[in-house]
Structure 1
Amino acid sequence: MLTKPPLTNRTNQLSSTLLIKPRVHTILNHKKHQINFEQIDRYSHKFNLLNLSNEKWLAMASSDKYILIGGGSSSSLRLFDLQGNEKYIIDIKTFAAFDLAWSNVLNAFLIAGYDRLQMYNVEKNQLTLVNNIDLINKKDNYLWSIACHGTDLFIVLSDGLESVWRLSLPKFQRVQTLSGSEIRESNSDDRISCIRTNGQSIGMTIRQRTTNQWRVDLFDYNTMIRTHRGLTIGYGTGAFNFLERCMLTPINDDQWLIIGGYKVQPNALTLMDERTGEIKQTERQSDKQNEFISNICTSNNNNQQIITMIVMNNETGQRQIHVFEQ
């Protein structure tokens, strides 16, 4: 494991003041999931994804029983159990899926795609269109990234400004909107790749236009006001976000796992602690530099946390799912 000190933004000198400000709160008997990066590679259950060698990026979400995967340039999603057995292939009847999320309230997966939000009930094997999402101009708006927590659904709407909506479940009523100008610090902030939440904070990965730097900013869960400006975790080539997506997932109240995606350097898994401001990166081993993690998500099963990753090999075209239970 390679452990690094907190990273700089190059425009900021490393000092005793971190750009990720520690968050102080008191939680009695708070159980924190300790992440052992070496164990993620060594002890994860792995299975191959067949017939997906042309996909550089795939959407993914997991529940306590299932993993839903798809997107890319396909309108089909594939449902697996945690052991890698394929259960269903679901035709979402639109161009790809940009992001997926699991909702405990709905007991269903939510599918964000071009011009629509859909809901997939696993037990019924039923796909339903959510009709009351009011997109003003369907040609210019699509649902780029989504995240669920309790009765809250957060949607990154790509409309040129990438505003963020908070909707109340199960009725999908919009109760809050964060404009693009409130998200971006300046015009140099290019776009949001991913939104996730742990119920304490809302995390977003944001790309800087001129340098192609990726960072993670945190926003207060209730007010949606920025609380932390993240340090740079990687540099991309400036490709369209569908290929080069920086993704993140919460692993408890304070920590986040972040991956850079295709051609983002360093080729690493990043652990960020928002309470202490500490960042650790574990780079892929030199003999595995052709492999990269393209997506990551977490779920819980009987108080056991499950980390699921899509690992892709550019040389062989092999795509694998790694499932790590801790």
Structure 2
Amino acid sequence: MADTMSVLEMFSPNQNISLKETKNYRQNGSINSNEITTPSIKSLSLLENIDKKSNDCLSLEHNQSDSLSAYEKLTTWKKSIETYLNHIYFNKLTEIDNLLAHGQNQIDIIFKKIPSFEQLVTITSQQQTIDHTYDDIELDYTNSQLFDLTSNNTLLCTSNYYALIYDDITSNLILYNNQSKLNSYLWNIDEYGQPCDLTYSYYLNIYCIITNRGLFTWSYENPFIPLYIDSIKPIHGNRLWTIASTDTRSDVFILFKSGNYIERWNSKIDTKSWQHIKRWSNHELFERNDQRIRTIRMTSNYVAWTVESTKIFEWRVDLLDYNLQIIRQGIKIDYLNKHSSCLLSNFGLEQYLIVDSNGHLLFLLDSNGYINLKNDDITNKRINNAVFMNNNNQQWLIVRLEQPNQLHFIPLLNKTDNKK
């Protein structure tokens, strides 16, 4: 991309350049068509000489772009521009090679007017509304998929297309889609530490893995090189515990074990240099010292956490803004005790799943602030964790069970269609 951009910056539009070449020309360059996996952009028709195979590959991904965040769409667009320019660049280099090989030493290069890339991108603001169809869970068991697991570990997260689990028996990260087990990747515990939380960052387009050593980012596209974010460190012996991210903002929140500290960071795409924004101690967040945060999650608008009162052994959910100022406090969770785990995961835009992996209970916190205990075929089993997945306009509940150790992909019934 550097070579391509230097050409664009060096010459003004409509300028003819004559280059006298010798026969000591470079070796032919090529570009792998498998690298072109980004959404099709109609305005890129301004760029010439794009082969049909590349366009077909791009158009397959275009239908998936609606589910991406604004940040992710813009980053994907940038990558597609770079891919197209590199494709053209290597094709033109090949043309020069061919001319030189046939004895053509006087070569003209004509640059047409460069399109205004700024005009190809328009940012719009849409009013976000709560989808009340997620205020209940109706499951389609007839089309569910089941996978047997070795481990009863609770770790589980999803992207739009994949579910990732950690198997602490084999020390493997295992990737699934709704049809099959895709691959296993050995996680080097001696080097990276024992995982204690998995989260997918839609903004960064990578998985974030919290271990007893620190924070690592990991991609199945490059699964053998986890990136250690060494700027995020334990505080006074308190190790990292869980991480929260969202698809529309670069902010992440890091919760330390026992909830003694929370840090807010600005994450950076393709880099380990994250920016620290603020740190809160437990004493700054709560007046009483008997309150302990178990899990933290976030949406585009809110931060949510589960809190245990270690004095009276009650659990609740609080909703906060990005400065951790309380918006709604004290949504009590019944049926839990001092042995409960109280995991939290996003479900829809403003709803959350709450899982007690010790008592094997599943709750839904709906958009009205009501917490409902779910009681059906799947939740009557020994549930360890549950997360939501939105895959090509099909919503899934991904559930991890123990005794037997299993992973369930269960489609959610489309209640909108049922109302028609």
TM > 0.5: yes
Aligned pairs for 1:280-295 within 5 A: 280-284=372-376, 289=380, 291-295=381-385
Looking at structure 1, the residues matched to 289 and 174 of structure 2 have their Cα atoms a distance apart, in angstroms, of 38
The residue identity in structure 2 corresponding to 1:188 is D
Secondary structure of the structure 2 residue equivalent to 1:229: strand
After superposition, what is the alpha-carbon deviation per residue over 1:230-270, rounded to whole angstroms, capped at 9, x for unaligned?
Answer: 3321344534xxxx421222223332222222126xx3423
Bigger mean CA offset, 81-90 vs 224-233: 81-90
Secondary structure of the structure 2 residue equivalent to 1:64: coil
Looking at structure 1, the residues matched to 169 and 255 of structure 2 have their Cα atoms a distance apart, in angstroms, of 20
Instruction: Determine the structure 1 residue equivalent to 2:221.
Output: 123
After superposition, what is the alpha-carbon deviation per residue over 1:4-31, rounded to whole angstroms, capped at 9, x for unaligned?
Answer: xxxxxxxxxxxxxxxxxxxxxxx85736
Looking at structure 1, the residues matched to 140 and 154 of structure 2 have their Cα atoms a distance apart, in angstroms, of 20
Instruction: Determine the structure 2 residue equivalent to 1:23.
Output: none
Q: Does structure 1 residue 227 correspond to structure 2 residue 320?
A: no
Q: Does structure 1 residue 66 correspond to structure 2 residue 166?
A: no
Q: Does structure 1 residue 196 correspond to structure 2 residue 297?
A: yes
After superposition, what is the alpha-carbon deviation per residue over 1:54-86, rounded to whole angstroms, capped at 9, x for unaligned?
Answer: x3x421111112111116577432222232323
Larger helix fraction of residues:
2
Looking at structure 1, the residues matched to 174 and 234 of structure 2 have their Cα atoms a distance apart, in angstroms, of 31
Secondary structure of the structure 2 residue equivalent to 1:106: coil
Instruction: Determine the structure 1 residue equivalent to 2:57.
Output: none
Aligned pairs for 1:113-262 within 5 A: 113-135=211-233, 140-149=237-246, 150-158=249-257, 162-170=260-268, 171-189=273-291, 191-221=292-322, 223-239=323-339, 244-262=340-358
Contact 1:69 1:77 in 2 (8 A): yes
Aligned pairs for 1:3-42 within 5 A: 28=127, 30=129, 32=131, 34-35=133-134, 37=136, 39-40=138-139, 42=141
Looking at structure 1, the residues matched to 169 and 261 of structure 2 have their Cα atoms a distance apart, in angstroms, of 24
Instruction: Determine the structure 1 residue equivalent to 2:369.
Output: 277
Contact 1:59 1:69 in 2 (8 A): yes
Closer, same or farther in 2 for the Cα pair 1:211/1:263, shift >3 Å? farther
- The normalised TM-score by structure 1 is 0.74
Secondary structure of the structure 2 residue equivalent to 1:224: coil
Closer, same or farther in 2 for the Cα pair 1:114/1:64, shift >3 Å? same
Secondary structure of the structure 1 residue equivalent to 2:316: strand
Secondary structure of the structure 2 residue equivalent to 1:296: strand
The residue identity in structure 2 corresponding to 1:272 is D
Deviation at 1:105, TM superposition (A): 2.9
Deviation at 1:163, TM superposition (A): 1.1
Bigger mean CA offset, 101-110 vs 82-91: 82-91
The residue identity in structure 2 corresponding to 1:108 is I
Looking at structure 2, the residues matched to 219 and 36 of structure 1 have their Cα atoms a distance apart, in angstroms, of 20
Closer, same or farther in 2 for the Cα pair 1:292/1:35, shift >3 Å? farther
Secondary structure of the structure 2 residue equivalent to 1:230: strand
Q: Does structure 1 residue 322 correspond to structure 2 residue 409?
A: yes
Q: Which structure's relative contact order is higher, taking Cα pairs within 8 Å and 6+ residues apart?
A: 1
Looking at structure 1, the residues matched to 186 and 143 of structure 2 have their Cα atoms a distance apart, in angstroms, of 26
Looking at structure 2, the residues matched to 214 and 36 of structure 1 have their Cα atoms a distance apart, in angstroms, of 21
Equivalenced residues, count? 280
Deviation at 1:101, TM superposition (A): 1.0
Secondary structure of the structure 1 residue equivalent to 2:300: coil
Contact 1:62 1:298 in 2 (8 A): yes
Contact 1:207 1:215 in 2 (8 A): yes
Superposition CA RMSD, Å: 2.9
- The normalised TM-score by structure 2 is 0.59
Larger strand fraction of residues:
1
Contact 1:161 1:181 in 2 (8 A): no
Secondary structure of the structure 1 residue equivalent to 2:139: helix
Looking at structure 2, the residues matched to 277 and 91 of structure 1 have their Cα atoms a distance apart, in angstroms, of 39
Closer, same or farther in 2 for the Cα pair 1:196/1:71, shift >3 Å? farther
Residue segments in structure 2 that go unaligned for 5+ positions in a row: 1-125, 415-420
Task: Give the greater-gyration-radius structure (CA).
Answer: 2
Looking at structure 1, the residues matched to 303 and 282 of structure 2 have their Cα atoms a distance apart, in angstroms, of 15
Identity of aligned residues (%): 23
Looking at structure 1, the residues matched to 320 and 128 of structure 2 have their Cα atoms a distance apart, in angstroms, of 25
Instruction: Determine the structure 2 residue equivalent to 1:13.
Output: none
Looking at structure 2, the residues matched to 255 and 161 of structure 1 have their Cα atoms a distance apart, in angstroms, of 22
Secondary structure of the structure 1 residue equivalent to 2:207: strand
Residue segments in structure 1 that go unaligned for 5+ positions in a row: 1-26
Secondary structure of the structure 1 residue equivalent to 2:304: strand
Contact 2:200 2:207 in 1 (8 A): yes
Deviation at 1:92, TM superposition (A): 4.1
